Amino acid sequence: MSSPGYTVVTGASSGIGRAIALALANEGHNLILGYGHGTDRISRLVDDIRASCPVDAIALHLDLRDARATVAAVESAVGELGSIRCLVNNAGVNDRSSADALDVQRIEDVLAINTVTPLALASAVGRRMIADGIAGSIVNITSVHDSIPITGGAVYCASKAALAASGKVLALEFARHGIRVNSVAPGETATAMNGVDDESRYADIVRPAIPLGRPAGVDEVAAAAVFLAGPASSYLTGTTITVDGGLVLTAAEENARYAGRLVPATGRKDIA
């Protein structure tokens, strides 16, 4: 049976968002599924969830470039349906722009979608949870690039770093109300947005620079989000689960290899 209250998932029509929605439905969450594009995809997702799980699921069109309109739409939906137990700020856009050719409109759009609207939503949802006396959960999907730079990622890295930092502040302020705020930071994930046509074949994609040798599957990222959304993580707030196959561990590896100081995996080489 479904649990009282609704969980909002943004960017639910495809990729990681879709996987999170399906996993949450299997855990008994009633769902408000935010989407920007892909009307057919979100309709199929709603039908699939209603057919396979004893929960409610509704689609809600959101333009995340407009924080005020997005917050108003979510507040209206929650007001009609009841209470809110969880928010998963999943929707986001990627950007690779040369540092000497940044476009102001693109900067504003990326920051609006990746930072401003998720922060505004988290604030509004937290306010509603406090008013209803609900010790809920807010989960932000950031990126390993919230702390690791990548060429061409000035805007994207800034947007994810800001979301990660603001989430920690919200965690600190909302804690006294029993509301937890955490993040999931994926590394490379096999999604259409990353050029992968068949997400189910993620294990066949070779990535030698990642210690586990492949990108993440969407279900692997979703599992972390569902854990943070649920009672099993009841003593976690202000933290980040990094789902990257060990990618962040390799920052010094290439330089050490170039300098001839890398310790072989099967032997020993003293490093001065």
Q: Are 10 and 62 in contact (CB under 8 A)?
A: yes
b vs e for 222-245, b when ≥16 Cβ sit within 10 Å of the residue's Cβ? bbbbbbbbbeebeebbbebbbbbb
150: nearest Cα among 187, 184, 175, 180: 187
Q: Is 92 helix (H, G, I), strand (E, B) or coil?
A: coil
For the chain, the C-alpha Rg in angstroms (whole number) is 19
| Rounded Cα distance, 42 and 60, in Å | 9
| Rounded Cα distance, 97 and 172, in Å | 34
Counting Cα atoms < 13 Å in the Cβ hemisphere of 212 gives 16
> Tokens for 187?
């590394």
Q: Is 5 helix (H, G, I), strand (E, B) or coil?
A: coil
b vs e for 5-29, b when ≥16 Cβ sit within 10 Å of the residue's Cβ? bbbbbbbbbbbbbbbbbbbbbebeb
Measure CA 256 to chain center.
32
Catalytic residue among 6, 35, 156, 202: 156
Q: Is 156 a catalytic residue?
A: yes
Which active-site residues does the annotation give? 156
